[in-house]
Amino acid sequence: MASLATPTLKNPSSPSLSSKPRLPSALSALHFPPSHHHRRRFLIITASASSNKPTVLVAEKLSEAGLELLKQFADVDCSYNLSPEELCTKISLCDALIVRSGTKVNREVFESSGGRLKVVGRAGVGIDNVDLSAATEHGCLVVNAPTANTVAAAEHGIALLAAMARNVAQADASIKSGKWQRNKYVGVSLVGKTLAVLGFGKVGSEVARRAKGLGMHVIAHDPYAPADRARAIGVELVSFDEAIATADFISLHMPLTPATNKMLNDETFAKMKKGVRIVNVARGGVIDEEALVRALDDGIVAQAALDVFSEEPPKPDGKLVQHERVTVTPHLGASTVEAQEGVAIEIAEAVVGALKGELAATAVNAPMVPSEVLTELKPYVELAEKLGRLAVQLVAGGSGVKNVKVSYATARAPDDFDTRLLRAMITKGIIEPISSVFVNLVNADFTAKQRGLRITEERVLLDGSPESPLESIQVQIANVESKFASAMSETGEIRVEGRVKDGIPHLTKVGSFEVDVSLEGSIILCRQVDQPGMIGTVGSILGEENVNVSFMSVGRVAPRKHAVMAIGVDDQPSKESLKRIGEVPAIEEFVFLKL
């Protein structure tokens, strides 16, 4: 047995929007987002769609094009400038929430939603205003619109760079106050100067490209940026210290994270070239603003141009905003007609997709699974959930489930076999029948951890052609007793095993008994003394009650010894008929399991 390697995803592809794969209705929503490097897909399972239209709360200004898209599918409530209390009150009536940077989607919002909120759409890039941990814990998908405002933000960065260097804002204000100060506003040239781009992602690289066009020497620092991307634009990647020590201009383009918070501070300002000029269109929090005021006053920083602030709006009389050598704009980086239309459409498609269970936009808090992997895994995803559901129903008592072992028999190499989806579905199958928690791909691991449910996985490496991703899945629950003793394996765990046959999940093993029943409808498992007539006896009890038997199979240890009969039924038999089955003399034990 090979141990399970951390799955890696292969061959991300460009999904055609016309062929959006969907999961079976019980599982509902599928989402396949593009990333900025390549399009990938991921899946999230939401509750089955209700007959009513979902409600989408749009809490900040969104372009008409996006609203139109949303209105075709949902009831749209555009309520701008809500107070935090009003947002918390409204959210319990909403299935999705769309925000920009001005709304704090904190834990309280998720808690107030009462489980109804399924998607938060961020109509832009930065998701530092959304509490991702809280979203994940509540099984709420967060999507953003990562590409449509890139150029707008880069153009604003360049606009601020040039405006700062030539004192445009200050000179404008001066003329408007009746002055004509040509000597006061002598600027500095950009050509030949060194620009350090900190954060060489989408916006940073577009800024670098444009700055090179202005004749600047561009260097960049980004611990995660691929060197070939920098090389392709003719930008040298350097260390943080080298970047800040050599730059005449610094432009910030990293996300606000605990690692980038106050990255520019007294210590780092002290390492900069005297007279450096700083542009920030990323997030205010990456600069220690009080330290920046000190650096300006000490002459380390000659000028700064800021579009973003640690607190927005900043205090109007604050030292930084009022500083003569500081140019400010009110978070306008993404505010062009074109970018706003782009993000509105991008986020509307993502949110509608998420609510519908189709291809959607970028997931921020869910693993992404490439489309071809998803399509291939679809029947196994269903199998995984049903095995989890069966296994937990076999536990006497149910809630003491702590240790689950999953074995995947596959001929696929570990890097060609992603189990996150299957694990999430097994978790869903195990947890949902014994609790009121809603489990999906977003919160499966978190929910399992929170409940003390330990799921270990192993891969049983098979010889042969790896054409199908999986031969079988086995789910074992250890350290519990079973209400159906025959479900116990020789080693004392509850054990069920299944495989996919002709695209349909089948139960193929219970304890040490081989069975074969398709996992549709519900199942009755009976252990009996193997003798003729048993199928007929049980079948006629069910028939009398008009319960349709879809499948029957008998797995025995040896002829005329014990056998386990698995009966698939379309409808739930009455208590009376289950009692009659139990009273058939040859039946030693039986259990009814809902799928």
Ligand X SMILES: O=C(O)C(=O)COP(=O)(O)O
- What is the residue whose two structure tokens read 């028999």? 409
Q: What H or E segment, with its residue span, contains residue 535?
A: helix 534-544
Q: Say which entry of ligand X, ligand NAI, none residue 100 contacts (CB below 5 to 8 A, set by partner kind).
A: ligand X
Nearer to ligand NAI, 124 or 511 (CB): 124
521 binds ligand NAI (CB under 6 A): no
Among 149, 170, 440, 508, binds ligand NAI (CB under 6 A): 149
| Tokens matching residue 432 | 């949902």
The order of strands in the sheet holding 249-252 is: 236-237, 217-221, 194-198, 249-252, 276-280, 301-306, 326-328
Beta 522-529 vs 587-594: how paired, if at all? antiparallel
388 binds ligand X (CB under 6 A): no
Nearer to ligand X, 146 or 555 (CB): 146
CB of 373 to ligand NAI, least distance (A): 24
In contact, 212 and 231? CB cutoff 8 Å? no
Q: Say which entry of ligand NAI, ligand X, none residue 573 contacts (CB below 5 to 8 A, set by partner kind).
A: none
CB of 552 to ligand X, least distance (A): 58
Q: Say which entry of ligand X, ligand NAI, none residue 167 contacts (CB below 5 to 8 A, set by partner kind).
A: none
333 binds ligand NAI (CB under 6 A): yes
Among 28, 46, 63, 101, binds ligand X (CB under 6 A): 101
State how far the Cα of 265 lies from the Cα of 139, in Å rounded to an integer. 37
In contact, 591 and 527? CB cutoff 8 Å? no
Give every CB contact of residue 273 below 8 A, 6+ residues apart in sequence: 245, 246, 247, 248
Q: Say which entry of ligand X, ligand NAI, none residue 273 contacts (CB below 5 to 8 A, set by partner kind).
A: none
Q: Could you say which residues in the range 132-161 bind ligand X, by CB under 6 A?
A: 149
State how far the Cα of 537 lies from the Cα of 585, in Å rounded to an integer. 11
Q: Say which entry of ligand NAI, ligand X, none residue 414 contacts (CB below 5 to 8 A, set by partner kind).
A: none
124 binds ligand X (CB under 6 A): yes
CB of 341 to ligand NAI, least distance (A): 15
121 binds ligand X (CB under 6 A): no
Residue 155 phi, psi dihedral angles, 5° rounding:
-65, -35
Listing DSSP states for 205-241 in one string gives HHHHHHHHHTT-EEEEE-TTS-HHHHHHHT-EE--HH
- What is the residue whose two structure tokens read 């998720």? 110
205 binds ligand X (CB under 6 A): no
Just list the catalytic residues: 283, 312, 331
In contact, 271 and 244? CB cutoff 8 Å? yes
Listing DSSP states for 487-505 in one string gives GB-TTSSEEEEEEEETTEE
Q: Could you say which residues in the range 31-50 bind ligand NAI, by CB under 6 A?
A: 36
Helix, strand or coil, per DSSP, at residue 293: helix
306 binds ligand X (CB under 6 A): no
| Other C-beta atoms lying within 10 Å of the C-beta of residue 327 | 19
251 binds ligand X (CB under 6 A): no
126 binds ligand X (CB under 6 A): yes
Q: Say which entry of ligand X, ligand NAI, none residue 202 contacts (CB below 5 to 8 A, set by partner kind).
A: ligand NAI
In contact, 65 and 338? CB cutoff 8 Å? no
User: Among 326, 288, 351, 339, which residue's Cα sits nearest to residue 97?
Assistant: 351
| CA neighbours closer than 13 Å in the CB half-sphere of residue 133 | 1
- What is the residue whose two structure tokens read 């992997």? 373
Q: Say which entry of ligand NAI, ligand X, none residue 307 contacts (CB below 5 to 8 A, set by partner kind).
A: ligand NAI
33 binds ligand X (CB under 6 A): no
Among 23, 105, 159, 225, binds ligand NAI (CB under 6 A): 225
CB of 212 to ligand NAI, least distance (A): 17
CB of 298 to ligand NAI, least distance (A): 24
- What is the residue whose two structure tokens read 């998607």? 119
In contact, 571 and 577? CB cutoff 8 Å? no
| Tokens matching residue 525 | 């498992």
CB of 281 to ligand X, least distance (A): 8
Nearer to ligand NAI, 260 or 327 (CB): 260
100 binds ligand X (CB under 6 A): yes
126 binds ligand NAI (CB under 6 A): yes
- Where does this chain touch ligand NAI (CB under 6 A) — which range of 62-70, 280-288, 409-417, 587-595? 280-288
Nearer to ligand X, 205 or 419 (CB): 205
CB of 436 to ligand X, least distance (A): 36
333 binds ligand X (CB under 6 A): yes
State how far the Cα of 119 lies from the Cα of 532, in Å rounded to an integer. 55
Residues that bind ligand NAI (CB under 6 A): 36, 124-126, 146, 149-150, 153, 198-204, 221-225, 253-256, 259-260, 281-283, 307-308, 331, 333-334
Residues that bind ligand X (CB under 6 A): 100-102, 123-126, 149, 331, 333-335
